Amino acid sequence: MDMVTLTPQIPRIGQTVIGTGFGTTPGGKGANQAVAAARLGYAVHMVGNVGRDVYGPVLLDNLASAGVSTKAMEKVDGPSGLAPIFLSEAGENAIVVVPGANGKVDAASVDRHAELIRSAGMVLCQLEIPMETISHVLSLCAEAGVPVMLDPAPAAILPEAVWGQVAWFTPNETEAAFYLENSESPEEAAKHLLARGLKGVVLKRGGEGSYVAVAGGKAAWVAAFKVDVIDTVGAGDCFNGAFAVALLEGLDAWAAARFASAAAAISVSRRGAQASMPSRAEVEEFLAKHG
């Protein structure tokens, strides 16, 4: 559950500022991406946990209302995942993620839903569940031939085997820097990341657009759409969900990134994470309007 504080500016260490508003809205990178894909009309299942607290039922109901199947969601003792968020008037955000029930998604949880995972067209993973669990999922998907899109957020050291098991690696600028020894251009960063065994890289660069590169093949920028930014929370997740849908529907990576950029552009013009995810009709209308 995202616990959002609106503030003129994100406070510095030791600084107190007066906020202008507060609200709670369902979030979490996995759920955000699931909702983004489901709103675009694709069949989506989510595997994960919620806690036996006041937020658990709300989170499950919200997923279901967006069209996400929650049959593989489990309830565990303790709190659900929580994310206190500061959101500035400029649209910038600072987030603290408290894993809660997400920290209890283990290999046994994955194995209980192994057949569902093996049947997927693509599996989207993030780093808000334990790394050991991510490694188990990637191994399962590699054995089954299911492509994995990994959003390395929050950035963390990855086991070496992971690099060769990921079809699409989708860091933002800060996350990409975590995996590189030196500050590099997006073009050089993509080359170095691909050299570690990845099949494809999408460097999400906000207003600059995205840089999309595939191993042994094409690499090119996909421009961002110019919109009035209200709230960037969940924009990267919206991009990932839409990018996955477009790929599964047969678009090449750069056309898929353009489709995903349109979805993300709509999302940043609205408040909330999952609440901002656009429908298929909205994305198609947006693309038609922008040529």
Q: What are the pLDDT digits (tens) for 102-160?
A: 999 999 999 999 999 999 999 999 999 999 999 999 999 999 999 999 999 999 999 99
Q: What distance in Å separates the CA atoms of residue 17 and residue 10, rounded to the nearest whole number?
A: 8
Q: How far apart are CA 187 and CA 209, in angstroms?
A: 13
Please report which residue ranges of the chain form alpha helices under DSSP H: 29-39, 55-65, 107-111, 114-118, 131-144, 160-163, 173-178, 186-194, 235-248, 253-268, 280-290
* Residue 220 three-state SS: strand
DSSP for residue 273: S
Map residue 57 onto helix, strand or coil: helix
Instruction: Provide the token pair at 32.
Output: 């955000």
The model's pTM: 0.91
- Find out whether the peptide bond into 147 is cis, omega within 30 degrees of 0: no
C-alpha distance from residue 131 to each of 28, 104, 125, 140, 179 (Å): 16, 11, 11, 14, 16
Query: Which residues, other chains included, contact 246 with Cβ-Cβ below 8 Å and sequence gap of 6+?
Result: 255, 256, 259, 260
> Is pLDDT of 184 > 90?
no
Could you list the active site residues? 237
Other CB atoms within a 10 A radius of the CB of residue 226 amount to 9
Token pair 């090119």: residue: 220
Looking at the predicted structure, is the pLDDT value of residue 200 above 90? Answer: yes
Q: Output phi, psi for 249, to 5 deg.
A: -90, 5
Ordered by where they begin, the domains of the chain are 29-53+67-78+103-290 (3.40.1190.20)
Spatial separation of the C-alpha atoms in residues 50 and 100, rounded to whole Å: 8
Report pLDDT digits (tens) over 45-100.
999 999 999 999 999 999 999 999 999 999 999 999 998 989 898 888 888 889 99
What pLDDT, on the 0 to 100 scale, is given for residue 99? 93
